[in-house]
């Protein structure tokens, strides 16, 4: 049974990386959009 | 330490043709090399006794891997301090013989794990004599002071579960008989061997393949359209049409003849999962749904901000939140 632990933890780790990364990416894109809107739309740098 | 079983409790014993395994601590096995001739010496187990009060003739010889035992069959154990002739004819009425068993020639064939018996048959050793590879304990009738009832098996005769597990190893369904005499599965080979077989499990991958193509189509279309507002409408229609595949996947298990296992969770029926798995599953379902909703809403927020960038409310919103 011991030989299977590495696969289990790999799957758990990969899932965690994908979930956290996806959430982080969405948050990052929102910040980027806000900055872009602030610079180019609100301050009229267009 | 290697053993056929990596898991075990102290006191568990198991053997193969070559080794004896003793579990000395939880999941820790000690391996001892077996000397076959000492483990079961054929020279010492012949059981012919032609003299005395209870004469019987028993021959043991070997044919291939089989030990052949022929006996005139003393069907009832002789009782100590009685004097009865075992002539094969006279019923032993003095004994408790409810089934009226009479002498009868017997011929047994056992699969044998030791060497060949080259010696002449000798006097029987009372009680336990040896064990055959099919798990049968070989015991001769016991003549002692204690009474022997016909309802109890001879001493030392029992189902040898450790040998059964070793000898048969994993069966075609990946299981084996464990030390508690329960049928068990011991590793992921069970999943591989059983669930990969279409006779056991048919997962209907084609609807999921259609879903993959639809998904790729949506991504491709999103990248191809230049006219954003119109492209979005086309995309939305494609997504709605594609979503029809989801209930088809879900109910294909019930609609078409399949070996897929039935639904474990239903809204209106009692769940068939045990509680120890049901609650973690429900918690995880709620958690994943919440996560997906949060991420999708955030993505939608970004999309809406981009599309409505010229609107006044976006300017106001950015000034407040930016």
Q: What is the mean pLDDT of residues B312-316?
A: 85
Query: Residue A29 corresponds to which tokens in the numbers above?
Result: 């894109």
Task: For chain B, say whether A30 makes contact (Cβ under 8 Å).
Answer: yes
pLDDT exceeds 70 at position B156: no
Cβ within 8 Å, pair A2-B6: yes
- The ipTM estimated for the assembled molecules is 0.84
Size of interface A-B (CB pairs under 8 A): 46
Name the 3-class secondary structure at B83.
Answer: coil
Using a 10 angstrom Cβ sphere, with 0-12 exposed, 13-18 middle and 19 or more buried, the burial of residue B8 is buried
Q: d(Cα B123, Cα B316) in Å, to the nearest integer?
A: 107
- 3-state SS class at B179: coil
Q: Would the CB atoms of A26 and B314 count as touching at under 8 Å? A: no
User: What are the strands, taking DSSP E only, across chain B?
Assistant: 13-15, 19-25, 28-33, 58-63, 66-71, 106-111, 127-131, 137-140, 175-177, 183-185
> Which among A1, A30, A42 has the least Cβ separation from residue B315?
A42
Interface contact flag, A37 B302, Cβ < 8 Å: no
Domain spans of chain A? 2-38
- For the stretch B143-177, what's the b/e string if a residue is b when 16 or more beta carbons lie within 10 angstroms of its beta carbon? beeeebeeeeebeeeeebbbbebbbeebeeebbbb
Are the Cβ atoms of B6 and A26 closer than 8 angstroms? Answer: no
- The domain ranges of chain B are 35-142, 202-264
**pTM of the model as a whole:** 0.42
Higher pLDDT, B135 or B8: B8
* Rounded Cα gap, residues B224 and A34, in angstroms: 26
Q: Which helix (H) or strand (E) holds A36?
A: helix A5-36
B214 Cα distance to chain centroid: 41
The whole-number pLDDT of residue B211 equals 83
User: What is the rounded distance in angstroms from the CA atom of residue B78 to the CA atom of residue B148?
Assistant: 9
Say whether B322 and A33 touch across the interface (CB within 8 A).
no
Chain B residues close to A23, C-beta within 8 Å: 291, 294-295
- pLDDT tens, position by position, B163-189: 434 444 444 444 555 555 555 554 554
Longest dimension (CA), chain B: 117
| Each residue's pLDDT tens digit, B231-259 | 778 888 888 988 888 887 777 766 765 55
At B198-222, the pLDDT tens digits run: 555 555 667 778 888 888 988 888 7
Main-chain dihedrals φ then ψ at residue B20, nearest 5 degrees? -110, 130
Residue of A nearest to B299 (CA): A26
Spatial distance between the Cα atoms of B304 and A33, rounded to a whole number of angstroms: 11
């Amino acid at each position: 049974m011991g030989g299977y632990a590495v696969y289990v933890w790999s799957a758990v780790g990969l899932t965690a990386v994908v979930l956290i990364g996806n959430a982080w990416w969405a948050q990052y894109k929102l910040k980027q959009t806000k900055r872009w809107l602030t610079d180019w739309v609100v301050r009229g740098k267009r | 330490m290697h053993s056929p079983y990596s898991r075990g409790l102290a006191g568990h014993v198991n053997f193969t043709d070559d080794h004896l395994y003793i579990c000395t601590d939880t999941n820790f096995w000690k391996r001892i090399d077996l000397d076959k001739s000492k483990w079961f010496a054929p020279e010492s187990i012949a059981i012919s006794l032609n003299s005395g009060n209870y004469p019987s003739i028993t021959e043991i010889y070997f044919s291939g891997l089989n030990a052949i035992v022929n006996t005139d069959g003393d069907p009832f154990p002789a009782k100590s301090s009685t004097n009865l002739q075992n002539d094969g004819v006279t019923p032993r009425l003095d004994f408790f013989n409810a089934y009226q068993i009479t002498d009868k020639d017997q011929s047994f064939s056992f699969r044998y794990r030791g060497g060949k018996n080259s010696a002449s048959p000798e006097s029987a050793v009372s009680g336990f004599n040896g064990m055959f590879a099919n798990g049968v304990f070989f015991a001769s009738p016991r003549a002692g002071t204690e009474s022997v009832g016909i309802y109890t098996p001879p001493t030392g005769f029992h189902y040898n579960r450790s040998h059964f597990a070793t000898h048969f190893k994993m069966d075609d369904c990946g299981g084996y008989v464990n030390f508690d005499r329960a049928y068990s599965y011991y590793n992921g080979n069970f999943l591989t061997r059983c669930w990969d077989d279409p006779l056991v499990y048919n997962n209907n991958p084609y609807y999921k393949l259609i879903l993959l193509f639809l998904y790729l189509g949506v991504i491709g279309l999103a990248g191809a359209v230049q006219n954003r507002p119109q492209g979005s409408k086309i995309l939305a229609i494609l997504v709605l049409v594609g979503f029809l595949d989801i209930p088809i996947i879900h109910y294909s298990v019930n609609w078409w003849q399949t070996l897929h296992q039935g639904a474990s969770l239903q809204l209106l029926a009692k769940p068939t999962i045990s509680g120890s798995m049901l609650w973690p599953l429900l918690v995880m379902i709620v958690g994943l749904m919440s996560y997906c909703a949060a991420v999708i809403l955030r993505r939608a927020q970004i999309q809406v901000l981009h599309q409505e960038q010229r609107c006044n409310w976006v300017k106001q919103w950015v000034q407040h939140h930016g």
